[in-house]
Chain A
Amino acid sequence: MLISERVKIEPLWKIRLRLALRSLRRNWALFWESRIGPLGLGIILFFVLLMIAHPILMATVWDSRVYDPIVGFDRALVGRHPAPPSWAHPLGTDPIGRDVLSQLMWSTRSEFALGVTSALITVVIGTLIGAICAYFGGVIDTIFMRLADLVMLFPFIALLMVLRSVIHLDLWRLALVMGILSGFGGITITLKAQALTVKVKPYIEAAKVAGGGAFHIIRHHIIPNIMPLSFLYMMFNVTGAVFTEAVLSYFGLLDIRMSWGIMIHTAESAGYLGAFGQYWWLWAPPGAAITLLCFAFYLVGRGLDTVVNPRLRKR
């Protein structure tokens, strides 16, 4: 009789689930210990709350004619826009009469969407290319590495300006473009280096001897061993994406209706940015939001250092 008939072995999926939960708990403990990681996570949570709160507020307390972030207008204060903060408008109104807080909260959603999408695309491309270059080496490696050099040297903003004149550059397209461009850039080099350290390990030779082909080894051995690093880089990429969008919006290069960058752009093009202290509610909230969100993701990334790299762990 087979051993598995004599002894009850639990179904494989259950065992794997248990192992996965165990490792999740361990990684969480490490993440928590870093202290800056949870801080970053906390800030992100705060923004998530903002994001959730907006539709609730719009449905209950706020009148959509006044508080709509894009087309709202407060008649009561006509002639005094941009109005300073008050009970009705905790962060004041912008030059064309829209509530600043509402704008801030609404934009959070698109910032998240943009950042995470762009970072995800970048990391998926970078991981795949890095693994392939490391495994095959030779011509393939050379092509992608030279491509990466090219991408890194390329004037990113100039390209986007040109692109914008050709296509309608809204949020999703921007995420796609940024994601793809960064994906072939520096991250490929870093992940390839990491994949190389995996490729020379004896267990890769063992997998080859067992009969594993290139696809099998890349998929089962190389990619899982570089994914922690990919995940780490994803955090930093979110930061880059959010910041890039802000810069582009500020210069009016994008076709987005509303974002934190657009908020600053609106203030600037209406001429209110010159007098710093006087109209602070026009640039400080979005500026702080951009900085904080980027900072938060960066902190999460740093908090993941010990999770990703076991050698950094204290004894």
Chain B
Amino acid sequence: MAEILKLVEVRKLYPVKRRVFSLRVRDFVHAVDGVSFSVDKGEIFGLVGESGCGKTTTGKLIVKLVDPTSGQIFLNGQNIVLIRRGKPLQDFRRAVQMIFQDPYESLNPRFTIFDTVAEPLMIHGVRSLSEREALVAEILAQVGLTPPETFMFRYPHELSGGQRQRVAIARAMVIRPKFVVADEPTSMLDVSIRAGIMDLLLNLRAELGISYLYITHDLAVARYMCDRLAVMYLGKIVELGPTEEVIQNPLHPYTQALLAAVPVPDPTYKREPPNIKGDVAAPINPPPECRFLPRCPKAQEVCAHSPHPPLEDAGGGHFVACYLAGTWKNTA
């Protein structure tokens, strides 16, 4: 399978301003701290984790809303970190798009739906108005807003949340990108609407041949949408592999805890509490040993005296960053 996106040791550090008259070295928030993974063409790759784990920042790095502190990001073999301006940047923007989380704030309230969806076309040089109208109508129909003419000249506040999100999807898809980062696209929508949006994204993958990075905190959604998954914690990937394998056979204690914490819509199922202590810390100046150590219920001596474990192959494309993963199987 061809690789469309590849991240190699990507880091994003944000300086934290200390008190006014400090002469010490600045502190850094390690939002993304050495993340590497690749996405195959036509695949939906999931990035899951709790808030502050770095998944949204990773998404922004991929669409170049922010620049990495170090590391490389390859799109179809080309290192996009080196792209700064001009035609290469415009070409990049044609190829990679993003769907945002908030359907209410990601559309300009003064733009009509036509204006919003046609904006990428205008920026990328589709001069003829009738051509823009045609393309917009076509994509609106494809995302389920039919008949498109009745939607094109309405304003966002006249549409429901689900409809707005479809408009956001149309805007991302209208210039036929190759890769789309979807940042929690359904978390602010009503439950009965979410299924429709998720199925729409799945259909568009088939129809338009797009690959996705799907960012979510909801493991059940990740299970439904994604072919492969990466679990992030404090800026690092702790587990990665085919979705069903990671969910049924989690190897990292954090993944196990995360899965154990998800409420199950079955009143007869007795869910045991997750095996984890403490609270998530802010990733400021993290210590060199395993990031998960303070919270790990299974930590041993080796974990306190070694650096943060690297991602290692546990077989079948299933990677885990834990020194002790080989010593137990699924105990969740």
A residues near B, CB below 8 A? 2-5, 7, 9, 12, 15, 19, 201-203, 205-212, 216, 220-221, 224-225
Contact = CB atoms under 8 A, between A and B. Distances in A.
Contacts of B110: 224-225
A2 B134 contact: yes
A10 B170 CA distance: 22
Given A19-B112, A206-B168, A212-B123, A3 B134 contact: yes
Interface in B130-163: 130, 133-134, 137-138, 141, 147-149, 152-153
Nearest to A12: B129
B124 A211 contact: yes
Contacts of B168: 206
B312 interface: no
Given A3-B148, A203-B105, A216-B123, A209 B133 contact: no
B291 interface: no
A3 B140 CA distance: 11
Contacts of A206: 98, 100, 106-107, 168, 171
Nearest to A205: B65
24 contacts: A2-B138, A3-B137, A3-B138, A3-B141, A7-B147, A9-B133, A12-B133, A15-B153, A201-B108, A205-B65, A205-B100, A206-B106, A206-B107, A207-B108, A209-B98, A210-B120, A210-B123, A210-B171, A211-B89, A211-B90, A211-B124, A220-B119, A225-B108, A225-B110
Contacts of A225: 108-110
Contacts of B98: 205-206, 209
Taking chain A's interface residues, is the majority helix, strand, or loop, or is none over half, making it mixed?
helix
A208 B171 CA distance: 13
Contacts of A15: 153
A220 B97 CA distance: 20
Determine which residue in B101, B120, B124 has the highest number of CB atoms from chain A within 10 A of its CB, and name it: B120
Nearest to B97: A209
A211 B94 contact: yes
Nearest to A18: B153
A257 B130 CA distance: 56
Smallest CB-CB A-B distances: 6 pairs: A211-B93, A210-B120, A202-B106, A3-B137, A2-B134, A211-B123
Given A3-B149, A7-B147, A12-B129, 10 more contacts: A3-B148, A4-B133, A19-B153, A205-B65, A206-B171, A207-B119, A211-B90, A212-B119, A216-B123, A224-B110
Interface in B107-128: 107-110, 112, 119-120, 123-124
Interface residues of B, number: 38
Q: Which of A3, A19, A209, A220 has the most CB of B within 10 A?
A: A209
Nearest to A225: B110
Contacts of B105: 201-203
Nearest to B64: A209
Nearest to B110: A224
Nearest to A3: B137
A211 B122 CA distance: 10
A203 B108 contact: yes
Nearest to B107: A203
A7 B130 CA distance: 13
Contact of A7 (B65, B102, B112, B149): B149
B153 A208 contact: no
A223 B118 CA distance: 19
Contacts of B124: 211
B44 to A, nearest CB: 19
Interface in B146-200: 147-149, 152-153, 168, 171, 175
A209 B124 CA distance: 12
Contacts of B90: 211
B260 interface: no
Interface string B237-250: 00000000000000
